[in-house]
Structure 1
Amino acid sequence: MIAKTAEDGGEFHGPSISDFFPDVLFFTIAGIPVTRIHLIQFLATAAIVLIFTLGTRRMQVVPGRFQSLVEMGLDFVRVNIAEDLLGKKDGQRFLPILTTMFFMILFFNLTGIIPVLNIAGTSIVAVPLLLALISYVTFIYAGIKKSPKNFFKNSLFPSGVPPFLYIIVTPLEFISTFIIRPVTLTLRLLMNMIVGHLMLVLFFSATHFFLFTLGGWWSALAAGSFAFGLAFTLFEILVAVLQAYVFTILTAVYIQLAVAEEH
């Protein structure tokens, strides 16, 4: 996405929220109109499948560089998220969903800094909301599986609280546990990706405007905005990784709370 230039009278047009509502392309899938963002999501998904297929297809005792890189990524989720929070037994149980969640978010986030693609697959609400609902259902399933009779009771009526305070505590626990969690998971990921896209488009659109529309000594400002754009691109890489980690580790935390002994 770049700024419009001479055809608009030389006015600068920065990014807008319309970037996240692109026109429908010329085909549909199962009756659902496909947009540019959907194609980016398909490409990110294909990249995940390809990388992990190639990286695990012919496992060797002494791994090559590519296999080692894939194993490092898998071990990061297994050791630092799943087993660290849930222990070996529960960590192994929920490792597939945590691993899938981490790498899906990571790859979808990184499309936002790839030239030509230029927008994150997680920057429309459907993806963060779907992942949040999966997280929500998983931790409820874990709690019910662990303690079918007491999960909801212990969640809404925590021990150690005087009974007369339940009229205040129980509604708060219900809101914080069963409503706030999926909402905050969705909004945290969505807002970070939206803001990141808008900032990158702003910097590079300004570069294009200063360099090709105004020209002259304004080109010096183009160099500055381009430098800020590059710096923010590096920052967005960090944000992409961090948001994947935060979303996945919060899901693991919620599962851990659901399977705690008190339930």
Structure 2
Amino acid sequence: MAPYGTGFGKQMLVVILSVIIIAWFFKAAIRNPKLVPGKTQFLAEGFYSFARNTIGRDIMGEKNFRPWVPLLLSVFMFVLLNNILGAVPFIQLPSFSHAGSAYAIAMIIYFTWITVGVRKYGLRYFKLAVVPPGVPGWILPLLVPLEIISNFIVRPLTHSLRLMATMLAGHMIVILAGSGAEYLITEQDNILLQATGFAVIAGSVAMYFLELLIMVLQAFVFTLLTALYIQGALDADAH
């Protein structure tokens, strides 16, 4: 028997499904482009504009953002759809509620911005990333280790764990609320406890919509940080 968390399972199936849906969606949107867009084209253009302008241009600046729009759009759509699928009945599994998935996508971004920095500055990038300009030499032995830990260890961990912890916590709250309501309604004879169960159901519905909002926000935050890290690598000599 394969160890838990390995092999092909529902989570990998959801990831593959998300890729298929995203590919189908954008292919359908550009199949017959029109000057006055239909609903699918309008929605696709809205996603593109959001990734291009709100994330790319506003964070990376007019000079740097254009080559990175495809990556930012892909990251945003992939994280968003994998989050949203966790709220779909019968699927109900946010892919990034599993630490392995969150680590994987965060590591892709991690190696991307390191590669960007090395390609532009060579190995000098690592010095630029950990030695702030204008800092007195006597404080560098203390500051440099902190910068190494912050930039090359803590940053990818927080990038992944923020997404994973939020998806896991939100999903568990909704599940626990639903399970608790079912128990109070079906297993208790006390009318007050049964009424409490119905109140919990109402509250879980509100939590469901709050979780949907958080799913969208986490996709935005993850993509925003991706843009920030790449921009930081491009302008490492300006830090």
Range 208-217 or range 108-117, more displaced: 208-217
Q: CA deviation at 1:205?
A: 0.9
Partner of 1:138: 112
Counterparts of residues 1-263 of structure 1 (less than 5 Å): 33-214=7-188, 217=191, 218-260=193-235, 262=237
Q: Distance in 1 between matches of 2:91 and 2:142?
A: 49
* Partner AA of 1:235 in structure 2: L
Match of 1:6 in 2: none
The TM-score with structure 1 as length reference comes to 0.83
Question: Structure 1 segments of 4 or more deviating over 4 A?
Answer: none
**RMSD of equivalent CA atoms:** 1.9
- Superimposed CA distance per residue, residues 214-239 of structure 1 (whole angstroms, 9 cap, x where no aligned partner): 25613312211111110001101111
How many angstroms does 1:33 deviate by? Answer: 2.4
Letter in 1 for 2:215: A
Deviations 1:117-171 (A, max 9, x none): 1221111112211111111111112212222253112112221011121111111
Letter in 2 for 1:183: L
Shift of 1:116: 1.3
Relative to the length of structure 2, the TM-score reads 0.91
Greater fraction helix? 2
Asked whether the equivalents of residues 86 and 92 of structure 2 are also in contact (C-alpha less than 8 Å), the reply is yes
Contact 1:56 1:67 in 2 (8 A): yes
Partner SS state of residue 34, structure 1: coil
Q: Is the 8 A contact 1:23 1:35 kept in 2?
A: no
Structure 1 gap ranges (5+): 1-21, 25-31
Change (3 A) 1:140 1:64: same
- Cα distance, 1:62–1:202 mapped onto 2, change above 3 Å: same
SS at 1:155 equivalent? helix
